[in-house]
Structure 1
Amino acid sequence: MDAVDPASPPSRLRAAFCCPSFFPVPGSYMTPPVSVVVDPVRKSLLWLVAVGFFMQTLDATIINTALPAMAAGLGESPLRMQSVVVAYSLTMAMLIPASGWIADRFGTRRIFFSAIVLFVLGSVACALSHGLGQLVAARVVQGLGGALLLPVGRLALLRTVPRTEFLQAMSFVAIPGLIGPLLGPTLGGWLVQYASWHWIFLINVPVGVLGCIATLRFMPDLRGAALQRFDATGYAFLALGMVSVSLALDGVAELGLRQGGVFVLMVFGFASLTAYWLHAGRKPAPLFSPVLFKVPTLSIGLLGNLFSRLGSGCMPFLLPLLLQVSMGYSPLHAGLMMLPIALAGMTMKRFTTPLITHFGYRRVLVVNTALVGLAMGLFGFAGPTQPLALHIVLLLFFGAVNSLQFTAMNTVTLRDLDGGMASSGNSLLSMVQMLAMSLGVAAASSVLGGYTGLFGSDGPLDTLHAFQATFATMGLITLASALIFWHLPPEARAVQPAQPEVSGQG
């Protein structure tokens, strides 16, 4: 997918930063960037890529707190707004396999500029939406732009920043990726409470306009040296499979599909994914080669990521809904309640490498997966009469174990990839993560819809019971994924890294 640049850093670094998501070995997450003397144009490029990363991570988290207000404005139930989240993450998952080829084919300047334009147009369309269908369609456009911002920006830095300054440059770019999820829920709640939900999208417009101007001035127009033919057939199989499976899960709660329709979508989805792997086994240069799955840590890590995030990926969606719909929190208060998760997650990063080095990946992931499931299940006992301090402690606990889970899963998946497999494996991991987030929200919404039908939705107490049962169910799903990590090699341990942690996905 990505052309090899002879002047670029070693293949593992090239793969990490060219692909749509980077999840290196933990250990220097909070390391401040080293001061580097750079020329003004390159410094401007660093700021441009950093702002693009910030826009993407902020938008991925700002909307969750605003869902109840958006539902009220659109005349929908707040418990049926999951498609707004699913559309964005599913679109990003679909575009990831093609992102490297698109940048190499059309050039980094044109694609980065187009990504910002799509993101801004999608944001404006979201703000102008008068119905749920219009909003979902606008989120798809927004997702098309957001999916390209970070990978294209990293590719431009990889091919312009000298090797001696590359890690420091990426440390600088990583900072907005940490600030976005920290600021997003609170900013979303504040805008909803003191303005309107439309402003969570309109704030992207001035930033996007400045980004377009800066792109034309500072973004270099780089292309791949040796462009391979794009595997359009394989991409179609993958896209159809992901969309069908996601729509099948979403259809239970949102589309009102009966069992027959859901079953047909599921069959089409899994048949398309199977067709892809049969196709990839015969094609000389597929998007993702089946040879990747001969690496045990990669195959176990990918499956663990999929099933673990299927449970825990719904938490940013469920928690703000629980706090506002069933516990009477204001949007701002609900947003502020998400801060303990982010702060605990950032603090936990510094302890990740020592834990994995001492205990090994298998023991850490098996035990910690169980703790993540337990933390999710404990929200099944949450209620409005409990002390605020108890809720904060529970949020801190979940944030810490969830952060450790993401870092350990991501790094064990890529630790044994070398040479040409590194780029493809990292891109496959990114796609699986976004797909799992989409499926997790869709699955949680289906479960919540089922329990709402069982307990009723006449008042906050009825919906509280439905939420409590949903948290318990999704916690059990997460707990089950610990069985996958049990198959990791017991000798696999962390090694001290020489690269920063840069990720907006945990």
Structure 2
Amino acid sequence: MEMLDGTIIATALPQMAHSFGVGPVALNLGMTAYLLALAAFIPIGGWLANRFGARTVFASAIGLFTFASLLCASSTSLWAFTASRLLQGMAGAAMVPVGRLIVLRMAGKGDLIRAMGTIVWPGLIAPVLGPPLGGLIVEYLSWHWIFIINIPLGIAAVALALAIVPAKLGEPRHRPLDMLGFLLSTAALMLIVFGIDALGNGHQDGGIALAVTLGGLALGALSIRHFMRHPHPLIDLRPLKVRTFAVIVYGGTLQRMAIGAMPLLLPLLFQVGFYADPVTAGGLVLFMFAGNLAMKTVTTPVLKRFGFWRVMTLNGVLAALAIAACATLSPAAPHWLIAVVLFAGGAFRSMQFTSLTAIQFADVPPEQQADANSLSSMMIQLGLGLGVLLGASLLNLSVWLGGRAGEPPMIGDFRFAFVATALVGMLGLIDLWRLPRDAGAALLRRTD
């Protein structure tokens, strides 16, 4: 639910804008508010789980997210909707990292690849399914149903969480809340996300947006300095001393940015560049989901046969090339060719996402898993979120360089964005090449 709601409203913006009596661009405020809340409150999720218990926090977060969905559906103004989206983002910030922590604590080392392959699926399919599902709902119902469908799903999820997750999953750790660290990291993440969003979409003066972004980076540096010195930091940086974990955090974030840009760029390409309706555009994106589905069946055997290093480095190149291949598409391209390109891209991104997530925790000691999970969840969400902003920023940059500032992007602008996004993904491979050739070998042996 949390990941699906990040993209599902994209095709509903015109109808929602008409309902609120504002322009469609103004609805970006609701999308940005959701992203800001997710980025800002993810760091505290691990502390809450350690303090009050993973099951309690997980079920409560789902319940709060469901309530916020009801508020979104009931909104009659842009500001009421934005406030509801902020609440939704706060709840979602606890759902994903705490859910991952539950899987880490319940799964044995031998089941880690299979477990991680399962939990990364929402991050892969939700951004892809969001646009077509949103298009169908808007076409045949109304935008309110985008949020109403969360209510029965949320109620069922709370019931399942209480029934399946053990009440005592790991010993609660009653360490004090690092309030200064929370405030510093929250302010840093919110300023960085808001600044990049403003730079990419032109919502604010360029100088102001750049200053906000630089201010966020400065606060981020102060946050890191604080976390390294505090006896009980909100975000414990010790897991970064584990080589596999650190490499995946750094290089993996760039690759997730490239992956996260695609669910924005593809529907826009089909609607703005190819003049397809929302349902048709969303339907074409489903071929990427088919690639995700097909690759899931062979991920573990491929990793066991060739090892993490070979798979991630070669597959990372293929994933980047699949992104660049989207630049060759045109309105005259036959649908079967579009299907092949998107299917291959979906397969490669699925393999890369699963590999990155599985090996990241392979060498992390059990006592550091909660802290590693919080840090990883924050970086994954930030990487995927910044990927959306990356796609938008590249499109607007191309339009500006072409002397057409303020005009809709053309096919040439999408080609520029796809190639640049692929280069970002390739940059993320530099860290992976530094890994030992046998990285994660012990983890693969435990799956036998």
Query: TM-score per shorter chain, which class?
Result: 0.7 to 0.9
Residue of structure 2 equivalent to 1:50: none
Aligned partner of residue 365 in structure 2, secondary structure: coil
Q: Deviations over 1:154-193 (max 9, x none)?
A: 778999x999xx99xx79x969959973754443221111
Q: Deviations over 1:74-128 (max 9, x none)?
A: 64356x8655444334423332221233245456676456434432342233334
Residue of structure 2 equivalent to 1:387: 334
Residue of structure 1 equivalent to 2:61: 115
| Structure with more of its chain in helix, by fraction | 2
Q: What displacement does 1:214 show? A: 7.9
Residue of structure 2 equivalent to 1:56: 2
Is the alpha carbon distance of 1:82 and 1:305 closer, same or farther for their aligned partners in structure 2, counting shifts above 3 Å? Answer: farther
Determine the C-alpha separation between the residues in 2 that align with 1:217 and 1:492: 37
Task: Give identity over the alignment, percent.
Answer: 33
Is the alpha carbon distance of 1:72 and 1:337 closer, same or farther for their aligned partners in structure 2, counting shifts above 3 Å? Answer: farther
Is the alpha carbon distance of 1:162 and 1:262 closer, same or farther for their aligned partners in structure 2, counting shifts above 3 Å? Answer: closer
TM-score (norm 1): 0.75
Q: Is the 8 A contact 1:91 1:143 kept in 2?
A: yes
Residues 3-402 of structure 1 mapped to structure 2, 5 A cutoff = 55-67=1-13, 69-70=15-16, 75-77=22-24, 84-106=30-52, 111-112=57-58, 114-129=60-75, 134-149=80-95, 177=122, 181=126, 184-208=130-154, 225-254=172-201, 256-402=203-349
Q: What displacement does 1:408 show? A: 1.8
Residue of structure 2 equivalent to 1:496: 444
Determine the C-alpha separation between the residues in 2 that align with 1:156 and 1:292: 18
Question: Is there any run of 5+ residues in structure 2 with no aligned partner, and where?
Answer: none
Q: Is the 8 A contact 1:64 1:316 kept in 2?
A: no
Q: Is the 8 A contact 2:199 2:210 kept in 1?
A: no
Q: Is the 8 A contact 1:97 1:427 kept in 2?
A: yes
Q: Is the 8 A contact 1:86 1:441 kept in 2?
A: no
AA partner of residue 440 (structure 1): G
Q: Deviations over 1:19-45 (max 9, x none)?
A: xxxxxxxxxxxxxxxxxxxxxxxxxxx
Question: Is there any run of 5+ residues in structure 1 with no aligned partner, and where?
Answer: 1-54, 500-506
Aligned partner of residue 385 in structure 1, secondary structure: coil
Is the alpha carbon distance of 1:438 and 1:146 closer, same or farther for their aligned partners in structure 2, counting shifts above 3 Å? Answer: same
Is the alpha carbon distance of 1:421 and 1:465 closer, same or farther for their aligned partners in structure 2, counting shifts above 3 Å? Answer: same
**Mean alpha-carbon deviation: is it higher for 327-336 or for 214-223?**
214-223
Q: Deviations over 1:290-330 (max 9, x none)?
A: 33222221111100121112222111122222222332222
- Count of residue correspondences: 440
Aligned partner of residue 337 in structure 1, secondary structure: helix
| Equivalent in 401, 421, 427 of residue 480 of structure 1 | 427
AA partner of residue 305 (structure 1): G
Q: Is the 8 A contact 1:92 1:147 kept in 2?
A: yes
Determine the C-alpha separation between the residues in 2 that align with 1:154 and 1:458: 41
Q: Is the 8 A contact 1:119 1:142 kept in 2?
A: yes
Is the alpha carbon distance of 1:498 and 1:128 closer, same or farther for their aligned partners in structure 2, counting shifts above 3 Å? Answer: farther
**Mean alpha-carbon deviation: is it higher for 148-157 or for 413-422?**
148-157
Residue of structure 2 equivalent to 1:35: none
Is the alpha carbon distance of 1:109 and 1:394 closer, same or farther for their aligned partners in structure 2, counting shifts above 3 Å? Answer: closer
Residue of structure 2 equivalent to 1:411: 358
TM-score (norm 2): 0.83
Aligned partner of residue 420 in structure 1, secondary structure: helix
Is the alpha carbon distance of 1:152 and 1:356 closer, same or farther for their aligned partners in structure 2, counting shifts above 3 Å? Answer: closer
Aligned partner of residue 9 in structure 2, secondary structure: helix
Is the alpha carbon distance of 1:253 and 1:427 closer, same or farther for their aligned partners in structure 2, counting shifts above 3 Å? Answer: same
Aligned partner of residue 338 in structure 1, secondary structure: helix
